[in-house]
Amino acid sequence: MRATFARIRGQIGRGTLAVALAVVAGTIIGVWLVPWAPRPPREPPAPPAVTLLGRPLALDEDASALGLERVRRFAAGEIALRLPNGDRRRFGMAELGVAIDKVRLAGLIRDARDPTSPLRRHWEARGRPQPLALPVPLVVDPDAVLRRLLVLKDELDRLPADARLDLEQRKLVPERVGRLLDVDASLAALERALERGEPEVALAFEERRPRRVAAELGKVEFEAVLGFFETRYDRSQRQQARTYNLRLAASRLDGTVLMPGETFDFNETVGPRDEANGYKVAPVIAEGELVDGIGGGTCQISGTLHGAALFAGLEIVERVPHTRPSAYIKMGLDATVVYPTLNFRMKNPFPYPVVLHQTVKNGVVRAEVLGPRRTQVVTVIRRIDSVIPYEELERPDPELPSGARVLGQRGVPGFKIHRYRILRDGDHAIRERFDDVYPPTAQVVRVGTGSASRDAKRAEHDPHPEYLADELLVMTQGPGVVDAEGKPETRESREPGPMGRAGWTRAAGMPYFETDDAAPAEGEARRR
pLDDT recorded at residue 40: 58
The pTM is what? Answer: 0.71
Sign of the CA dihedral 297, 298, 304, 307?
Answer: negative
> How far does CA 285 lie from the centroid of its chain?
22
How far, in Å, are 86, 173, 208, 247, 274 from residue 161 at the CA level? Answer: 22, 10, 10, 18, 18
Q: Would you state the pLDDT for residue 8?
A: 43
Instruction: Show Cβ contacts of residue 261 under 8 Å, excluding neighbours closer than 6 positions.
Output: 347, 348, 349
How far is CA 450 from each of CA 248, 380, 399, 459, rounded to the nearest angstrom? Answer: 42, 51, 6, 13
Cβ–Cβ < 8 Å for 384, 471: yes
Kindly report, residue by residue over 375-386, the tens digit of the pLDDT. Answer: 999 999 999 999
- Sheet hosting strand 345-347, strand order edge to edge: 263-265, 345-347, 315-318
Pairing of strands 263-265, 257-258: unpaired
Residue 86 Ramachandran class (φ > 0 left, ψ -120 to 50 alpha, else beta): left
- 87/156 Cα distance (integer angstroms): 12
**Residue ranges in 202-254 assigned as alpha helix (H):** 240-253
Return the beta strands (E) in 53-159 as ranges.
55-56, 78-82, 88-92, 99-100, 132-134, 138-139
CA distance linking residue 441 with residue 463, whole number of Å: 15
Q: Are 271 and 231 in contact (CB under 8 A)?
A: no
Cα distance between residue 293 and residue 290, in whole Å: 9
DSSP-derived pairing of the beta strands 472-477 and 99-100 = unpaired
User: What pLDDT sits at residue 452?
Assistant: 75
Dihedral (CA of 224, 226, 232, 238) sign:
negative
Summary count for the chain: helices (H), strands (E)? 10, 29
The DSSP line for 144-213 is: HHHHHHHHHHHHH-B--B--EEETTTTEEEPPB-EEEE-HHHHHHHHHHHHHHT-SEEEPPEEEE--S--
Question: Phi then psi for 483, rounded to 5 degrees?
Answer: -90, -170
Q: Nearest-CA neighbor of 166 among 257, 227, 261, 300? A: 257
Q: What is the pLDDT of residue 36?
A: 53
Grouped pLDDT means (10 residues each) for the chain, 528 residues: 48 52 52 53 72 93 93 95 94 94 94 91 83 93 94 90 87 92 96 95 95 88 95 94 96 94 96 90 72 87 98 98 92 96 97 96 97 96 98 93 92 97 95 96 93 66 92 96 93 96 95 70 44
Q: What is the pLDDT of residues 15-44, one digit of tens each?
A: 555 545 555 455 555 544 555 555 655 666
- Output the pLDDT for position 216: 87
